[in-house]
Amino acid sequence: EAQRRRFLPAIARGEELWCQGYSEPEAGSDLAGLRTVAVRDGGGYRVSGQKIWTSLAGEADWCFVLARTDPGERRHRGLSFLLVPMDQPGRIEVRPIRQMSGTAEFNEVFFDGARAPHVVGGEGAGWRVAMGLLARERGVSTLVQQIGFAAELAAVIAAAVRGGAVRDPALREQLVRQWAELRVMRWNALRTLGAAGDPGAPSVAKLLWGGWHQRLGELAMRVRGAAAALGPVDWSAGAPYELDALQRLFLFTRADTLYGGSDEIQRNIIAERVLGLPRLER
Ligand SMILES: Cc1cc2nc3c(=O)[nH]c(=O)nc-3n(C[C@H](O)[C@H](O)[C@H](O)COP(=O)(O)OP(=O)(O)OC[C@H]3O[C@@H](n4cnc5c(N)ncnc54)[C@H](O)[C@@H]3O)c2cc1C
């Protein structure tokens, strides 16, 4: 309760920004293989290790870090969900990962004995807390995301009207199909609010919106036609390139089937936990 009072109001007001410290160089889909460790220190912990692909780590005030607190346990056991303040010079280093587009949204984050004053759910409960949070990211949180999706679809439709692509019957049909699917996704996301305990619900939602958003990016490029491939007038200026909103939409949506757990992992979860299929050799 004390953590709720301390952190939730500032999150809701957008005053404190957070980043997600799950993935590591050797632990992405296989998150339970993570190597970051934390040892008790006074009332809190000291964290050491490396995270990667940490979105907006350079802007975040706090990071929630999944780390091993019990070296005697393996895999999902012995992990804890720690809250780490990012402003710790000498103890936390954030290195931006520059992409082809010239932007650097995500980062490598190195922890060297960084202070973690809070543990969520108690020591050793990290996997349960992290999976609970991931289920929200894959499922219910899309209710908010869909406000953005609707605005992006409106921009694609406006570009189709402006550029004349609406006269192409095939593209026209795809625009309507995209709109109808967005409605279905919204109703489905609303249903997941009451589907706690259904192990497949977040994975179904993630598969739906990841694929839908990726198709929207592709449709945006088809609507623009050949002009979609055009870059800035003066390429010599180098990265970051001044791409327009639809080009950025297309490029970013390539990642939709990866972050938050890839499509393959969502299908594995459904196969094993819902359909009861035997686990494949890893
Ligand atoms: C835009 C973006 C933002 C991100 N932000 C964050 C963040 O803020 N914090 C954070 O912690 N992480 C973040 N990530 C990392 C993301 O969670 C991982 O990329 C994702 O979990 C996949 O892990 P990986 O990249 O190590 O790929 P890998 O796990 O190496 O997977 C590579 C490929 O193999 C497939 N694969 C792996 N295992 C299996 C299997 N058992 N069965 C079938 N196929 C399999 C995967 O589906 C994938 O196609 C972000 C990623 C992206 C793209």
Rounded Cα distance between 101 and 107, Å, is: 15
Rounded Cα distance between 131 and 199, Å, is: 11
Closest residue by Cα to atom 17, ligand 1, is: 259
User: Residue 4's pLDDT is what?
Assistant: 96
> Is 144 domain-assigned?
yes
Tell me how far the alpha carbon of residue 106 lies from the centroid of ligand 1, in angstroms.
13
User: Residue 238's pLDDT is what?
Assistant: 63
Domain extent, residue 107, equals 2-124
Residues 113 and 146 reside in one and the same domain:
no
Is 15 annotated as catalytic?
A: no
> Is 219 domain-assigned?
yes
Query: Mutation test of ligand 1: which of 82, 206, 259, 266 has the most ligand atoms closer than 8 Å to its C-beta?
Result: 259
> Is 245 domain-assigned?
yes
Which pairs count as long-range contacts for 240-248, CB under 8 Å and 24+ apart, including other chains?
A: 240/101, 240/102, 240/103, 241/101, 241/102, 243/101, 245/155, 246/155, 246/156, 246/159, 246/220, 246/221, 247/221, 248/101
How many structural domains does the chain have? Answer: 2
Residues 101 and 9 reside in one and the same domain:
yes
Among residues 16, 108, 123, 137, the one annotated as catalytic is: 137
Q: Which of 124, 151, 178 is the last residue of a domain?
A: 124
Residues 257 and 159 reside in one and the same domain:
yes
Whether residue 107 contacts residue 98, with contact meaning beta carbons closer than 8 Å, is answered with no
Residues 219 and 256 reside in one and the same domain:
yes
Residues 252 and 149 reside in one and the same domain:
yes
Report residue 148 as tokens. Answer: 């953005």
pLDDT in single tens digits along all 282 residues of the chain = 999 999 999 999 999 999 999 999 999 999 999 999 999 999 999 999 999 999 999 999 999 999 999 999 989 999 999 999 999 999 999 999 988 767 788 999 999 999 999 999 999 999 999 999 998 888 877 888 899 999 999 999 999 999 999 999 999 999 999 999 999 988 877 777 776 677 888 898 899 999 999 999 999 999 999 888 877 656 566 666 678 889 889 989 999 999 999 999 999 999 999 999 998 876
Residue with the two structure tokens 């050797």? 26
**Residue list, ligand 1 pocket, CB within 6 Å:** 19-23, 28-29, 53-55, 106, 255, 258-259, 261-262, 264-265, 268, 282
